[in-house]
Amino acid sequence: MASWRRRLPSLPLLGLLSSLLLIQWPQPVAEASNAAAAGGVHHSLIRKPTSPNVPVFREAPAFRNGKTCGSPETSPIHVSMTLDANYLRGTMAAVLSILQHSTCPENFEFHFLCARFEPEVFSSINSTFPYLRYKVYRFDSNRVRGKISKSIRQALDQPLNYARIYLADMLPFHVNRVIYLDSDLVVVDDIAELWEVNLEGKVVAAPEYCHANFTKYFTELFWSDLNLARTFQGRNPCYFNTGVMVVDIDKWRKGGYTQKVEEWMAIQKQKRIYHLGSLPPFLLVLAGNIKAVDHRWNQHGLGGDNLEGKCRGLHPGPISLLHWSGKGKPWLRLDSRKPCTVDHLWAPYDLYRPATHSLEE
């Protein structure tokens, strides 16, 4: 029993999956089922899901364009997210939240980045959002496998976490701007407003945090090496979170930003210059050089810190996007029946349909 909690972060949805799949799954996954059993799930009554990896979701309503909307051809909104069986419940909630708060929901085109071909994931998207316009791109994990160095949280070291660096290589040429979004967030405003931001010549727009202590994202080794530290000369580097970014894909391509980020990852492989995963190389290349947008577009950190995932409250001010970055994920905490207060803000977007629902009452 002592070990299941520590296993959870590397395998999100584990508790959920094991409750569906106890019979088929060998150790060590079955260990996690103790948690589900304690929650009152009766394994003997569980119906077999159609797929061994993917939870079952209910169908989202059809969202229709308002009268003022152009067509998807003339006024598209491109959104890119990663797609993976482990985070599918988060992805579903994020997509629902975007469509539900949008004036022009039919104008979205989603660009999903996948490391594996998982047909059951695509059929799940199809049945949950029958009207969704989306494309799937295979992200070749080999592109980053040798470049990832261990961070403080295992989940951050997944190759798919690095896929955002390669957006410009994967998306078709007609997409020259995209909103990149993590899968552990919900949007509670019309994201068209973020989409229309004037980038003013910058390659990335995101909320920027200049009061955060920037020093701590890099090691002493980094700051004491004048050659390395000099990279921030002439700019006022501020923290930004890479889970919500508007990216000018053309500019990114032409400026060779993928290579710039990769170069820092190569340096990190040799000398440990930071502790986190995909964020610091972004900061090294872009911090102080982005278009700042209102903080309401990324109320991040709701998952708590990277080590313990303690509950956190909301920062004051208006909110358009809630982001459970950090260790805790709302669906896991809700399932564990020990949710944080903020997790109740995610729950209305949860499309997951527990297989045992009708049997438990």
In the numeric block, the tokens 């919900």 are attached to: 186
Task: Supply 341's token pair.
Answer: 């207060």
List, in sequence order, every residue forming a beta bridge with 248; answer none if it has no partner: 177
What one-character DSSP code corresponds to residue 269? H
Task: Give the contact letters, 88-127, x = binds to ligand NAG (CB under 6 A), - = no.
Answer: -------------------------------x--xx--x-
Task: Tell the smallest beta-carbon distance from residue 117 to ligand NAG (Å).
Answer: 10
Count CB atoms within 10 A of the CB of residue 223: 13
Which one, 25 or 134, has the nearer CB to ligand NAG?
134
Task: Tell the smallest beta-carbon distance from residue 288 to ligand NAG (Å).
Answer: 17
Read out DSSP for 129-173?
-TT--EEEEE--THHHHTT----SSGGGG-GGGGGGGGHHHHS-T
**Binding residues for ligand NAG restricted to 253-282, rule: CB under 6 A:** none
Task: Give the contact letters, 124-143, x = binds to ligand NAG (CB under 6 A), - = no.
Answer: --x-----------------
Which one, 25 or 239, has the nearer CB to ligand NAG?
239
Task: Tell the smallest beta-carbon distance from residue 283 to ligand NAG (Å).
Answer: 14
**Binding residues for ligand NAG restricted to 170-229, rule: CB under 6 A:** 213, 215-216
Cα distance between residue 128 and residue 123, in whole Å: 8
Task: Tell the smallest beta-carbon distance from residue 216 to ligand NAG (Å).
Answer: 4
Cα distance between residue 283 and residue 276, in whole Å: 11
Which one, 43 or 135, has the nearer CB to ligand NAG?
135
Total interface residues for ligand NAG by CB under 6 A? 7
Read out DSSP for 69-110?
---TTTS-EEEEEE--GGGHHHHHHHHHHHHHT-S-GGGEEE
In the numeric block, the tokens 């982001």 are attached to: 323
Distance set, CA 124 to CA 92, 111, 129, 240, 245 (Å): 10, 16, 8, 33, 26
Which one, 174 or 211, has the nearer CB to ligand NAG?
211
Task: Tell the smallest beta-carbon distance from residue 187 to ligand NAG (Å).
Answer: 24
Cα distance between residue 49 and residue 233, in whole Å: 56
Cα distance between residue 274 and residue 2, in whole Å: 30
Which one, 122 or 239, has the nearer CB to ligand NAG?
122
Contact 147, 266 (CB under 8 A): yes
Task: Tell the smallest beta-carbon distance from residue 214 to ligand NAG (Å).
Answer: 8
Task: Tell the smallest beta-carbon distance from residue 128 to ligand NAG (Å).
Answer: 11
Which one, 213 or 233, has the nearer CB to ligand NAG?
213
Task: Tell the smallest beta-carbon distance from residue 215 to ligand NAG (Å).
Answer: 4
Which one, 105 or 330, has the nearer CB to ligand NAG?
105
Which one, 19 or 128, has the nearer CB to ligand NAG?
128
Task: Tell the smallest beta-carbon distance from residue 119 to ligand NAG (Å).
Answer: 5
Which one, 34 or 123, has the nearer CB to ligand NAG?
123
Contact 41, 21 (CB under 8 A): no
Distance set, CA 259 to CA 112, 177, 246, 255, 263 (Å): 22, 19, 19, 9, 6
| Chain residues in the site for ligand NAG (CB under 6 A) | 119, 122-123, 126, 213, 215-216
